[in-house]
Homo-oligomer: A and B are copies of this chain.
């Protein structure tokens, strides 16, 4: 008996799993983490109104969710001052990035991103046979000019930009991003991943005509709204593009409980404002912890802080390993020279204190190692 015949593309894909979650690490280690500050989850939690809405909706879970995500799209449209036809809701930004890549990327098609930017996007591009063209960061920021220059060279189907950036936490001002949109080559589509925008200073999100076919912006309830486990992302774009998702998406893919939670979370902007303030204070706390250890924290427009460990990637990887060995879950950038940093998520004081206590030990062990 022979097995199924995979497509040539699938047969060529690596079998390694690039995404090792904290639960998997806990199972491998045989004990739980003391501080879960590695996945940029919002340890401050979601709106109590969102939790209440999800609890109430649990009774209705025998029904499929609304395939149109109608109520949530209407609310998002009102929130953003666009039409519902400009909004697609999906299973997190990860799910939407997969759909979008499938819509435009055929084997051999070019895609432009930054070297060290969001690996899940790269995973989807590779999964549909796209060819990634990567430009380096400049001064720990994604390099808008280099992205556009490379796009002019390779005529990509997609250009990826996260603003604010993950994993560095840096950001470009709205005017720079708006200017970049005008430079997108014809036939290319800019993905503006704004997963962390709720943590950024007011005004960082550029004004973009929702009918502009050159850009699609991605938002999520996983970060500012504190609902990573609910899997609700959305994209804002031109109606033709938004409508194209209906050709391929899993129409009944959304959890009904998550739909209800996202709607309630959106309506509780007061909670979001409170989380923003807590995150800002935690960023300052992380910068102070870094300074106490003779390290520099990069300025951040997100709910995490990249801390420059002061040497190369090997050293930062040792620091990270020593933190993990001491039950502190953090992550770090993949690519030099950004991999001189570790990436620490903002959290309440319990987690911040655990990190403050552990970092000196981890640094000492890394230096001795």
Contact = CB atoms under 8 A, between A and B. Distances in A.
A363 interface: no
A169 interface: no
A66 B21 contact: yes
Nearest to A94: B250
B103 A60 contact: no
Nearest to A184: B1
Nearest to A246: B17
B228 A19 contact: no
Contacts of A313: none
A285 interface: no
Dominant secondary structure at the A interface = loop
**What are the 10 A-B residue pairs with the smallest beta carbon separation, nearest first?**
A229-B256, A3-B213, A4-B189, A23-B66, A61-B229, A7-B106, A21-B67, A54-B58, A19-B251, A13-B247
A262 to B, nearest CB: 11
Contacts of A246: 15, 17
Interface in A88-119: 91-92, 94-95, 98, 102-106, 109
A243 interface: yes
A36 interface: yes
A238 B9 CA distance: 21
A100 to B, nearest CB: 9
Given A61-B230, A229-B61, A248 B66 contact: no
A59 interface: yes
B62 A54 contact: no
Contact of A227 (B62, B94, B214, B254): B62
Interface in A18-69: 19-21, 23-24, 27, 36, 39, 41-46, 50-51, 54-55, 57-68
A55 B51 CA distance: 8
Contacts of A145: none
B64 A228 contact: yes
A240 interface: yes
A68 B24 contact: yes
* Interface size class, chain A: 35 or more
Interface string A288-310: 00000000000000000000000
Contacts of A27: 70
A215 B58 CA distance: 34
Nearest to A155: B5
A251 B17 contact: yes
A147 interface: no
Of A61, A64, A105, A255, chain B has the most CB atoms within 10 Å of the CB of A61
Interface string A220-251: 00100011111100000010110110111011
Contacts of A64: 21, 39, 41, 222, 228-229
A70 B17 CA distance: 15
Given A57-B229, A64-B228, 9 more contacts: A1-B212, A7-B105, A7-B109, A17-B251, A43-B62, A46-B62, A54-B58, A61-B227, A91-B253
Contacts of A57: 229
B67 A24 contact: yes
A62 B142 CA distance: 28
A157 interface: yes
